[in-house]
Amino acid sequence: MASTKSSSPIGKAETRTEMRSLISIADLTNDEIEEIFSLADAVQRLRSERPANGQIMATLFYEPSTRTRLSFESAMQRLGGSVISCSDMKSSSVAKGETLADTAKVVSAYADVLVVRHNWDGAVQAMAEHADVPVINAGDGGHEHPTQTLCDLYTLRQEKGALKGLTVVVCGDLKNGRTIHSLVFALARFGANVVTLAANGMELPQYVLERLEREYDYALAPMASDDLSAVMTETDALYLTPKQPHQLALFTQVDEVIQARLNSLATGLRYDAFYMTRKQKERMKDGAADASYPTIGPEFLREQRFQDTVVMHPLPRVDELSPELDRDWRGIYFKQAAYGVPVRMALLKFLFDRREAKAAAPINKAPAYKSPEKLGPQCHNPNCVTLKEPVSTDKRFELFTVGENGTLILGCAYCDHRFKVQFVGDVKSKRYCSYDHSLAGQIDGWLEKKQLAIFNSIKEAEELGYEPIKSGPQRALMNDVEIASALAEMSRQILRDCRDPDRLLILGVRSVGSQLAQRIAAEIENQRKRKIELGEIEIYGSGDEIKRLAPADPDAAPLSLKDREVILVDDVVHTGRTVKSALSIIFRSGRPQSVRLAVLIDRGHREVPVKPNYVGKNIPSSEKDRVRVKLRGLEQEEKDQVVIFSVIGPADAVKSPSAGGEKKAARS
């Protein structure tokens, strides 16, 4: 991740040199971190040598900051360099809609290093891919904050000597606290033990736990926690009863002895540090922000067994630390903040010395995956930069299997979130199937040949013209006459229910849905003798999601949804997920008066509560069956028809690719 090179669809600069950035704590090896610490130890020498003389650092903070920004700026000036900054990113070109990619490119020409904080996960990685100078992540959404971790580790090392073997309790909002995520990876790498003490519902995210397990060989062990419940107080007694599942510890090796100790001992572990964090309200939905939260109170100071336990906090604190701690030597959070300057001086010097050097190879990284198709898998994290600003990103993933069942997992290269692969396909033969671990060998082959397509849904595969890897014989369910009369009836009903036909907007889901939408609109126009506005909604693409449907008047204004009576048209409602995505695009794009749903076929296997208002035909067949609407013109069909067929399991299909109703096989 640390070496960056522009490979995005926009502004691709093939000849750029790779550059050393710091996006994740994983971008630094342990030796490099030690080297930075040695530089920080010699801060006086750095101050007199002024190694950044003539260099400029730009700070781009899209989120509030005091410590990180000021300590970076102070560090740069103490190194002899200077600083340029936007006092408020909201008053920069961002307000005019400038992309991260453009900002990164432009500011690269003004500065020798960029320090960026952003509220989207992965945003700093995206900027680094477009910048021509090193970029430092000063916090990206709820993802990582690697320079805070350098300060934290340095503080621990100053206080405790070595990091190996320490036991650090991380407390509070472990879910949204980016400082925590970088910190636990680093502690794991240096061989420290981590005890997690999360506020209720704010446990370490799954992707962090999985990464700890896969990349650092750490395992989770439940622990008895009476000794912690004695010192942590909370507004209501929601958590911290012994053996709650969120009281977990991460140990380098969970051998039987440790396990037995953990299970049986209420006390006995030596805690070297408590690392407390603030509730990250700005990353929470309304209700969650009011949930109760632990605090470290004065009891902590009186407990004999915590007499050597230091209390850390990345700051700002709200009310999770008792003021009594400020007056006790164990409250070291202000010292921790002060180390921000020498550590960031050391980091800047370290990066300047390696401007053109590649980063060390990341630890245990899985192979990278990029979809060979235009539509490809999307990250499931709604705060990921790949969803917030697709144009500045390059949708890359790590691909690996986990567990005994060999579940196939994609990990987003920007925000690290992981999700399960549901459908895979072969680009060459244009066949797809649901993923099954018996396909692992096959998948490796496809991946190697860059032929592996991954889809979020069957619908997406079908949109790209993929056929099931193997299917049973097709049986016709509706012919062209039946389809035409169903559409005519639906059109009549739509017009009947419509309060103001001038406000009607027919929106088809691309691509079969939009064909049907055109036919419905034509029917209505026929009945009303007036033009009806017609649009198309693209669920899986990036960029323009709702557009007028051709042939549109080139001078026509963009479609407005405000106060419209929208009829969303799709061919088949199976699980309802596509419709749900379409609805969220609609509500994101404007405020219609109403949205009603028209589908030719309703399968009724609904996973989401969407109920069509107008249905051509109900076909509640089994889950394994696929119903497809084939329209003349679209799939070289001569006549419209609706067919049903069964999809045969991928394992059988791969073993005997040429058997059965389909001739074309996955192996081509």
Q: Footprint of ligand NCD on this chain (CB under 6 A)?
A: 67-68, 139, 145, 148, 178-179, 277-278, 314-316
Nearer to ligand NCD, 148 or 515 (CB): 148
Residue position matching structure tokens 């510890």:
249
| 50 within 8 A of 79, measured Cβ to Cβ | yes
Shortest gap between Cβ of 149 and ligand NCD (angstroms)?
Answer: 10
Nearest residue (CB) to ligand NCD, 173 versus 463: 173
Q: Which is nearer to ligand NCD, 290 or 607 (CB)?
A: 290
294 forms beta bridges with: 234
Residue 117 beta carbon to ligand NCD: minimum distance, rounded to whole angstroms = 7
- 154 vs 645 by CB, closer to ligand NCD: 154
Which structure tokens are listed for 171? Answer: 């407390």
Dist CA 359 CA 2 (whole Å): 6
Helix (H) or strand (E) holding 261: helix 256-264
Of 145 and 157, which CB lies nearer to ligand NCD in the complex structure? 145
Nearest to ligand NCD of 119, 434 (CB atom): 119
Per-residue DSSP letter, 447: H
Least distance (Å) between residue 141 CB and ligand NCD: 10
Q: Which of 276, 569 has the CB closer to ligand NCD?
A: 276
Write out the DSSP string of 285-302.
-HHHHTS--EEE-HHHHH
CA distance 646 to 332: 65
Please report how close the Cβ of residue 295 comes to ligand NCD at its closest, in angstroms.
15
Query: Can you tell me whether residue 180 is helix, strand or coil?
Result: helix
Tokens (6 digits) for 148: 């805070």
CB of 562 to ligand NCD, least distance (A): 38
Looking at the Cβ atoms of 122 and 139, the one nearer to ligand NCD is 139
Nearer to ligand NCD (CB atom), residue 116 or residue 598 = 116
Nearer to ligand NCD, 68 or 295 (CB): 68
Nearest of 208, 22, 9, 182 to residue 116 by alpha carbon: 22
Angle (CA) 164-121-275 rounded to 5° is 35
- Show Cβ contacts of residue 70 under 8 Å, excluding neighbours closer than 6 positions: none
Between 334 and 587, name the residue whose CB sits nearer to ligand NCD.
Answer: 334
Q: What are the tokens at 406?
A: 């060999």
Which among 53, 110, 58 has a CA at the least distance from the CA of 79? 53
Shortest reach from residue 69's CB to ligand NCD, in Å: 9
Question: Which residues lie across from 172 on neighbouring strands?
Answer: 198
Q: Which is nearer to ligand NCD, 16 or 67 (CB)?
A: 67
DSSP per-residue string spanning 349-388: HHHHHTTTPPPPPPTTPPPEEE-SSSS----S-TTBHHHH
* Least Å from the CB of residue 214 to ligand NCD: 25
Token reading at 275: 């690392």
Q: How far is the CB of 574 from ligand NCD (least distance, A)?
A: 42
Of the candidates 646, 637, 600, 597, which has an alpha carbon nearest to the alpha carbon of residue 619? 600
Report the Cα–Cα distance between both ends of the chain, in Å, rounded.
35
Number of residues written out for the chain:
668
Residue closer to ligand NCD, measured from CB, 275 or 419: 275
Please list, in sequence order, all residues whose beta carbon lies within 8 angstroms of the beta carbon of residue 486, skipping any fewer than 6 positions away: 478, 600, 616, 617
Residue with smaller CB distance to ligand NCD, 118 or 189: 118
Residues near 579 by Cβ (< 8 Å), separated by ≥ 6?
Answer: 509, 568, 570, 573, 597, 608, 610
Among 205, 172, 196, residue whose Cα is nearest residue 245: 196
Structure tokens at 302: 């009186």
Closest separation between CB of residue 236 and ligand NCD, Å? 22
Shortest Cβ 26–ligand NCD spacing (Å):
18
CB of 420 to ligand NCD, least distance (A): 29
Q: Which amino acid is at 485?
A: S
Q: Are 128 and 105 in contact (CB under 8 A)?
A: no
392 three-class SS: helix
The conformational region for residue 102 under phi > 0 = left, psi -120 to 50 = alpha, else beta, is alpha
Shortest distance, position 148 Cβ to ligand NCD, whole Å = 5
**Starting at the edge strand that comes first in sequence, how are the strands of the sheet with 407-412 ordered?**
368-370, 396-402, 407-412, 418-420
DSSP 122: T
Smallest distance, ligand NCD to C-beta of residue 147, A: 8
Could you tell me the smallest distance in angstroms from the CB atom of residue 177 to ligand NCD? Answer: 6
Q: Which is nearer to ligand NCD, 56 or 70 (CB)?
A: 70
**DSSP secondary structure string for all residues of 297-338:** -HHHHH-GGGTT-EEE--S---SSB-GGGGGSTTB-HHHHHH
CA-based radius of gyration for the chain: 29
- Work out how close the CB of 175 gets to ligand NCD at its nearest, in angstroms, rounded to a whole number: 13
